[in-house]
Structure 1
């Protein structure tokens, strides 16, 4: 009884959700992918620089 009430309430709440339009979803996805790519490159370069600096210090 409680489980069926839960799923009924979930279905009711999902109908109230304002889903993004296709264009908005596409732009948001591109923004997330670009941000993740930027930070991946940024931290890779930073890691490379710090590693090189540590190697220079230890030699």
Structure 2
């Protein structure tokens, strides 16, 4: 059983050595893009939610 675990982690280590890791500049750039996009989507959803909530409230008050 321990041989299989050892073999598994040996394979994992071998595969991780083959990975093409991003440079520090690429990592910072990608992180910035993800954060800016996440903030944009969050603001968009908040504005749409606010608008739909206001519309529903006005519709309920009208009825």
Give the alignment's TM-score, normalised by structure 2: 0.91
Q: Which runs of 4+ in 1 moved over 4 A?
A: none
| Residues 1-40 of structure 1 mapped to structure 2, 5 A cutoff | 1-40=3-42
Alignment RMSD? 0.5
Name stretches of at least 5 consecutive residues in structure 2 with no aligned partner: none
What is the count of residue pairs matched by the alignment? 59
Structure having the higher Rg:
2
Name stretches of at least 5 consecutive residues in structure 1 with no aligned partner: none
